[in-house]
Every structure is written in C-alpha cells, then in structure tokens.
Amino acid sequence: MDIRDIHTPVLLERCAELLGPALQKPGSVFVDGTLGMGGHSEAFLERFPEARLIGLDRDTEALRIAGERLQRFGDRVTLVHTVYDGIVEAVASAGVDKVDGILFDLGVSSLQLDVADRGFAYAQDAPLDMRMDQTAGVTAAEVLATYGEGDLRRIFERYGEEKLAGRYARAIIAARSEAPLERSGQLVDILQAATPAAVLRERHPAKRVFQALRIEVNAELSVLERTIPAALSVLGVGGRIVVLSYQSLEDRLVKRVFADASTSTAPRGLPVELPEHAPKFRLLVRGAELASDEERAANPRATPVRLRAAERIREDA
C-alpha cells in the first residue's frame, strides 16, 4: 500500500499557512523535528521549492521510510538520526547558522501506532517495547519489571493523569510476582481486572497507563522541556515555529515557553520599555488552535491536537 494511503499529516494546510511566509524566500531552511514518515515535509518541499529540509527523528525505521519518500528532492534534504532536543547540533552539522521554519508534531507517530510489534497500541497484543528509538534505552517491559510500586504510581499519575494510579501499580506488582509482564495483552488484562465496573463503562483503563509508560520510556517531557528553548534559539528573525501537541502535559509546557518568549522582561513601573527588554517572539495564534470538525472526521488522529505557533521578531541581545 502507498504510504500516502495510510498516513494523513495532521493540520497540514494550517501548518503550511503558518510556516509559508518564512519558507518562500530563496535559500530558506526548515527543520522537521519529528519527521515520522515525512508527510508534512514532503508537502512543504513541494509547495516551497526554494526551501531546504533538515529532518530529525529518533526512529531509524521512520528515517528509512521518509528517506525513500523524499529521495526525489535530492540535496534539498538532510536527515539526522537524533532525538529532537539535539536540534542545535543537527542544524550546525548541516552547515546552517539559523533556520527559517520549525515544525514539531509531537507524540507517537502513525508508524509507531500502526506497527503492532512496537507495543504502543493497547488494542493490539505485542511485546511491551514502546521505544521510539529501538536501538537504545529501556523498554516498557523493563520499566514494569524493575520499578517499585511508588515509582509506577508516580509515572501513572504524572504522565497519565490517572486517578487509579495506586490501584494499578499494586496490581502490576502483584502480577509480576507470578509471571513476567512481557506483552501488551497481559498488561491490559491486569488493568481491566483492577478497574471498577463503573469506570470500565466510561473508558478503556489502559489508555492513560500506556501513555504514561510511553512518556517514561522515551523521556518525552524532559526532552521536550529542553527542545523548545533550543529550537527558539536557532530561529532567525522572521523565522516561525509550529508545535502540534496531543496531550495536556505537552501543551502546557509549550504554552509556558512561548509565553515567556513573547513577554517583555522590563521591570514593572518603567515609563518606557528599553529595547533589550522587548519580546523576542510574537504569538501567531490566539491560545491553542484545535482541528476543525471536518479535519477530525477525515483524520481521527487530529481529534486531540493543540496547535501553537510563534515568530521571532528580534535577535537575542
């Protein structure tokens, strides 16, 4: 099957609209910090023929697929195997000082969700891996085998915002004393057995726990906390950044960094704002934009998305 039949980029038109003014000039460079299967990047390379891409991904399989998809663009494409908090080093290694556009499409990719043996989807029985980069790091199975009850509860509460975190942590500890937890189906069965019937009627008990495990395995929030300031630092004046978040923890972090960057640092009470205190960025959208009803119907993975965007308006001091 053609990859375009199984992968629909989220908010593609809106991303192109927001990044377009920065990518139309000759010699422009944009970074796709979460390249995935290359859907956004392919569209941008087609629409902005003067632009060059630096594509980042920690998933080697995603890089392979995107590389094949983008091969026709030749030397306009540079792909880098890295976690996106390595954006400064990746841009420098490509021989670039400043970039004109940056896109981050956060969370788990279509590739990772749709390939059953990656273990990301609780609806499919598979080995409990959940690593975005399968060449490094601990797996979800190792987390479940080695973390104590308190640590499991902490990650379920913090990263999954799960109200039954304590109950689930105790159930996992009890279950692993009987047999190793190696497959997603085992974990789903444990969670379902530990969930009150009233809650089972409201939601699937595995959704938040799987999200929490994925974030823990890939250190997603700590990486993102380093990434957004680093990304802002490599944007040139007039450069634009768009971030697509899919859960509240990510969106709150992006919101905070953008707010700080777009707020004056002048002490209160100054009659005139000095240039060095002026904001370095301006926000391009009010709050967080949501997908339209039409986009959600056409692409269900756009349902939880929250889009934020900003433009650099002056250099650092």
User: Is 57 marked within a binding site?
Assistant: yes
Per the CB < 8 A criterion, the answer to whether 20 and 47 are in contact is yes
Is 277 labeled as ligand-binding? no
Please check if 40 is assigned to a binding site. yes
38 is in an annotated binding site: yes
Tokens of 310: 């900003």
What separation in angstroms does the CA of 256 have from each of 99, 259, 280, 305, 310?
22, 5, 15, 17, 12
Is 84 annotated in a binding site? The answer is yes
Burial of 115 (0-12, 13-18, 19+ CB in 10 A): middle
Retrieve residue 292's tokens: 């339209």
Question: Which residues fall in the annotated binding site?
Answer: 38-40, 57, 84, 105, 112
Question: Which residues fall in the annotated binding site for S-adenosyl-L-methionine?
Answer: 38-40, 57, 84, 105, 112
